[in-house]
Chains A and B, each alone.
Chain A
Amino acid sequence: GAVVSQHPSWVICKSGTSVKIECRSLDFQATTMFWYRQFPKQSLMLMATSNEGSKATYEQGVEKDKFLINHASLTLSTLTVTSAHPEDSSFYICSALDRGRYNEQFFGPGTRLTVL
């Protein structure tokens, strides 16, 4: 299957700082990527849809000014958690839509964010 990478795989930061997470599709172009968040023993919750060349669309209840998404190229989307707080600590996972493979979604390995 197609490969999606995320960087960093884990990050620890102080409260109030901003953290950027990258999601890359390594062997295909992805005009659409998705960002999910997973709390322990919970389901993956869709946060937003990242569209190349246009603004991201956010799910209800997700603050767009806190979770900044940029999809600057066909292979890269970034999620920036601004002014992070301990309650933002979670596992963030991205997925990329491969339109050449019947629109199958391929997931990245995830990023573990811990805010102290």
Chain B
Amino acid sequence: DQQVKQNSPSLSVQEGRISILNCDYTNSMFDYFLWYKKYPAEGPTFLISISSIKDKNEDGRFTVFLNKSAKHLSLHIVPSQPGDSAVYFCAQGGSNYKLTFGKGTLLTVNP
């Protein structure tokens, strides 16, 4: 059973609009959550993270929200740009630095 679930395999938005990527988790015993961006045939690159004691973290166009009661995480990208088109993975991390990833969501931003 997957501990980290990204139920939407793909998402398509128009340039300039908001992209909302969602992630659900089952295990609350993790210290932090992360979002990674991945292009084909490349490794993931770190985007933004949030500590389990916070409910929001913002970095430029990227904002991550954490709803602990719902065990839900979301990434907001606004405004979306064509260069944001990639696969986005959410992941959980703990004190041992091991990461548990979701299956990813393919974001396509149309010009």
A, B assembled together = yes
Tell me the A residues contacting B by CB distance below 8 Å. 1, 4, 6, 9, 32, 34, 36, 41-46, 49, 93, 95, 97, 103-110, 112
Instruction: Tell me whether B97 and A109 are in contact (CB under 8 A).
Output: no
Instruction: Tell me whether A103 and B97 are in contact (CB under 8 A).
Output: yes
Secondary structure dominating the interface of B: loop
Q: How distant is the Cα of A42 from the Cα of B87 in the complex, in angstroms?
A: 11
Can you offer 6 A-B residue contacts whose CB atoms are under 8 A?
Answer: A43-B104, A46-B99, A49-B96, A93-B43, A95-B43, A109-B42
Q: How distant is the Cα of A46 from the Cα of B43 in the complex, in angstroms?
A: 14
- For the complex formed, measure the closest distance between the CB of B98 and the CB atoms of chain A, giving whole angstroms: 6
Instruction: Tell me whether A108 and B101 are in contact (CB under 8 A).
Output: no
Cβ < 8 Å to A, chain B residues 32-47: 36, 41-46
Instruction: Tell me whether B41 and A105 are in contact (CB under 8 A).
Output: no
B97 contact from A32, A93, A107, Cβ within 8 A: A32
Instruction: Tell me whether B103 and A41 are in contact (CB under 8 A).
Output: yes
Q: How distant is the Cα of A32 from the Cα of B36 in the complex, in angstroms?
A: 20
B4 close to A (CB within 8 Å): yes
B79 close to A (CB within 8 Å): no
Q: How large is the interface on B (under 10, 10 to 19, 20 to 34, 35 or more residues)?
A: 20 to 34
Known contacts: A43-B89, A49-B98. The answer to whether A110 contacts B42 by CB under 8 A is yes
Among all A-B residue pairs, the 4 with the closest Cβ atoms: A107-B43, A43-B101, A44-B101, A43-B103
Q: Chain A residues near B46: list those with CB within 8 A.
A: 1, 104-106
Cβ < 8 Å to A, chain B residues 1-20: 2, 4, 9
Known contacts: A1-B45, A109-B43, A110-B43. The answer to whether A43 contacts B2 by CB under 8 A is yes
Instruction: Tell me whether B41 and A4 are in contact (CB under 8 A).
Output: no
Instruction: Tell me whether A44 and B98 are in contact (CB under 8 A).
Output: no
Q: How distant is the Cα of A9 from the Cα of B43 in the complex, in angstroms?
A: 11
Q: Chain B residues near A95: list those with CB within 8 A.
A: 43, 99
